[in-house]
């Protein structure tokens, strides 16, 4: 590591259950190629493996993945296994279950509760592990998650899963799941300018209860799964200019400023972008900058409380 390199330690840490992780983690979706959820151009395997190993060198100890993160010839879980096994003792690998894609890459019917053991076991096989650190139940529009979450709770009792989380949910789903088993983390789409009033409420509730809140697409904006947005409010550009950094770094810094329980999992297949994302954990926004960015967020439909 060269002198002056900013590592993930700069962002601080948070406890997910009994596991302490850096607040800047890594999302594995973009490792697989030009279109992780479709059959786009496969990534360069060596480059993807190098990005994962560099993330660990930079102090990242929280990786978010899923068995359905694959494109032609590439699987995020397989890349993680090849790059990092045997895994560092302090590395938390989080995965999610619920959505399903068949061998051709087409989305299938979302999992039934009885299917979830197979989904968990598929992640275990691909990652080469005998248990999963953290498994999110990704809600697939169902009104109640009790039956699905209960099935995961049974796998936790059986020792296949260490901790449980939920994704794409509302506050009522958090309460529903907590009545069944402990929830250590919530993962929803959230970022500067994203219209998600119930997610704002959920972020607050998680903070009050000490539950980690892990946004996805915090950088991507409206680009979502297709990649990072190039459309930024002038407030974002102004802060980026003042700090000599990128709009993406400003978006990450704003996300982390939403609370000590808020984590970030920016994903990339580019070593340069990886270093920039990790360095964003050291960016400290002033009260005035946060006020300007919050105003931009409200103007786009978001509703931060402070």
Write down the domain spans for the chain: 20-187
Q: Confirm whether pTM is higher than 0.85.
A: yes
Spatial neighbors of 113 by CB under 8 A, at least 6 apart, are: 147, 148, 150, 151
Nearest one of 184, 183, 120 to 151, comparing CA atoms: 120
Task: Report pLDDT for 230.
Answer: 52
Instruction: Grade residue 145 by pLDDT with cuts at 50, 70 and 90.
Output: very high
Strand 92-97 to 62-64 pairing = parallel
3-state DSSP assignment of residue 156: helix
Residue 56 is predicted with a pLDDT of 98
Instruction: Name the pLDDT band for 218 (thresholds 50, 70, 90).
Output: confident
Give the bridge partners for 264, in sequence order. Answer: 24
CATH classification code of 20-187: 3.20.20.100
Residue 104 or residue 112, greater confidence: 112
Mean pLDDT, residues 192-199: 80
With contact defined as beta carbons under 8 Å apart, do 10 and 250 qualify?
no
Catalytic positions, written as ranges: 69
Query: In the structure, what pLDDT confidence band is assigned to residue 306 with cuts at 50, 70 and 90?
Result: very low
**CA distances from residue 139 to 51, 146, 187 in whole angstroms, order as listed:** 30, 11, 11
pLDDT grade for 53, boundaries at 50, 70 and 90: very high
Report residue 305's pLDDT band, with 50, 70 and 90 as the boundaries: very low
Q: What is the pLDDT of residue 72?
A: 84
pLDDT at 132: 98
pLDDT at residue 58 tops 50: yes
Please give the C-alpha separations between residue 109 and each of 1, 96, 112, 211, in angstroms, as whole numbers: 46, 16, 9, 30
Q: Look at residue 97 and tell me whether its pLDDT is greater than 80.
A: yes
Residue 160 confidence (pLDDT) above 80? yes
Query: Confidence band (pLDDT; 50, 70, 90) for 298?
Result: confident
Whether pLDDT at 52 is above 70: yes
Asked if residue 177 has pLDDT above 50, the reply is yes
Average confidence (pLDDT) over 102-116: 88
Report the pLDDT averaged over residues 89-101: 95
pLDDT in tens, 230-278: 556 789 999 999 999 999 999 999 999 999 999 999 999 999 999 999 9
Q: Is 161 helix (H, G, I), strand (E, B) or coil?
A: strand
pLDDT at 108: 82
Lowest-pLDDT range, 41-50, 98-107, 166-175? Answer: 98-107
Check residues 102 and 257 and name the one with the higher pLDDT: 257
DSSP 49-112: HHHHHHHHHTT--EEE--TT-EETTEEHHHHHHHHHPSPPTT-EEEEEES--B-TTS-B-PPPP
Question: Per-residue confidence at 224, pLDDT binned at 50, 70, 90?
Answer: very low
Q: DSSP string covering 202-244, please? A: HHHHHHHHT-EE--BSTTTGGGGGG-------HHHHHHHHHHT
């Amino acid at each position: 590591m060269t002198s002056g390199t900013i590592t993930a330690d700069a962002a601080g840490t948070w406890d997910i259950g009994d596991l302490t992780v850096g607040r800047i983690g890594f999302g594995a979706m973009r490792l697989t190629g030009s279109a992780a959820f479709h059959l786009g151009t496969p990534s360069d395997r060596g480059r993807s493996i190098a990005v994962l190993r560099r993330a660990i060198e930079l102090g990242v100890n929280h990786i978010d993945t899923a068995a359905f993160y694959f494109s032609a010839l590439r699987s995020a879980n397989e890349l993680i296994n090849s790059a990092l096994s045997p895994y560092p003792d302090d590395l938390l690998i989080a995965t999610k279950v619920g959505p399903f894609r068949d061998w051709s890459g087409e989305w299938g019917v979302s999992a039934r509760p009885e299917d979830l053991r197979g989904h968990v076991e598929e992640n275990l096989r691909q990652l080469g592990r005998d248990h999963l650190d953290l498994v999110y139940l990704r809600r697939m529009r169902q009104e109640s998650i009790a039956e699905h979450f209960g099935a995961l709770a049974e796998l936790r009792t059986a020792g296949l899963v260490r901790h449980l989380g939920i994704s794409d949910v509302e506050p009522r789903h958090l309460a529903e799941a907590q009545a069944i088993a402990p929830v250590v983390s919530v993962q929803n789409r959230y970022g500067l300018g994203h219209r998600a009033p119930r997610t704002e409420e959920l972020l607050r509730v998680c903070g009050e209860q000490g539950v980690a809140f892990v946004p996805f697409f915090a950088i991507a904006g409206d680009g979502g799964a297709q990649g990072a947005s190039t459309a930024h409010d002038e407030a974002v550009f102004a802060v980026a200019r003042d700090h000599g950094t990128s709009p993406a770094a400003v978006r990450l810094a704003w996300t982390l400023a939403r609370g000590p329980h808020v984590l970030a999992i920016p994903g990339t297949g580019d070593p340069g972008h990886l270093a920039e994302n990790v360095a964003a954990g050291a960016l400290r926004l002033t009260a005035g900058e946060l006020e300007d960015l919050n105003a931009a967020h409200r103007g786009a439909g978001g509703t931060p409380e402070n």
